[in-house]
Amino acid sequence: MTTKRNEVFSWIRTILFAVIIAFLIRAFLFTNYIVEGDSMLPTMHHGDRLVVNKLVYKLYEPERFDVIVFHATSQADYIKRIIGLPGDHIEYKNDVLYINGEPYDEPFLDEMKMNGERLTHDFTLQQIIGKETVPENTVFVLGDNRRNSTDSRNLGVIPFDQIVGEVNVKYWPFADLEFYH
C-alpha cells in the first residue's frame, strides 16, 4: 500500500514540477503568438504560429529588421519589423527606404513589388512623429505589407518596454517552418 502511495506522490511531484517549469519558461523566456491579419505579408500569413523570444531584449538591444511582437494597445499585441533604431533619421522616397541618408535594400519586400505598384508612400520621420530622429529607448516599426498595416506611421514609435520579444521561429504551418535571426 505504501509503495503505491509513494508512486502516486512521485507522479504528482513530477507533474507539478513539469507544470512549474513550463510556466516559468512561458512567463520569462518564450511565448507563442498567432498572426492575425495580413500586415506582415508575404513574410507571415494570417494564422501562422510563432515562437517569440521574450529574453533577448533584456540581454541585447533590438536590431534593424528584427521582427517583433509588441503591445500596441492594452488589449492587442502586433507583429511588425523594426525599421528605425534610436537616433536614426528615417525617410521613404520613391519606394526606397533611407536611414540616415543612406538607401537600404529590403529584400523581404521583393515579392510584394512584383505588380509594380508603390508599397510605401513617401514620408519623413518629422512628418510622422514630429521629430527628426527616432527617440532614445524607442523603435520605428513597419509591417511588410505596407499598404495594409497599422504601424509606426499610425501608432508612433514603440517604447522598448512595450516590446514583448523577437520572433525566432515560425512553426505552423509546419511546411513553412522558418527560423529568424
Helix (H) / strand (E) element for 166: namely: strand 163-172
From the candidates 4, 10, 39, 74, give the one annotated as an active-site residue: 39
From the candidates 4, 54, 58, 80, give the one annotated as an active-site residue: 80
- Going 60 to 65 to 66 to 71, the CA torsion angle's sign is positive
Q: 127: which DSSP letter? A: H
8 A C-beta contact, residue 90 and residue 134? yes
39 is catalytic: yes
* Torsion angle (degrees, nearest 10) of CA 10, 13, 14, 18: 170
The maximal CA–CA distance of the chain, rounded, in angstroms, is 79
80 is catalytic: yes
8 A C-beta contact, residue 120 and residue 140? no
Helix (H) / strand (E) element for 104: namely: strand 102-104
Q: Which single residue is written with the C-alpha cell 507522479? A: 11
Cis ω for the linkage preceding 173 (within 30 of 0): yes
Give the residue numbers annotated as catalytic, written as ranges: 39, 80
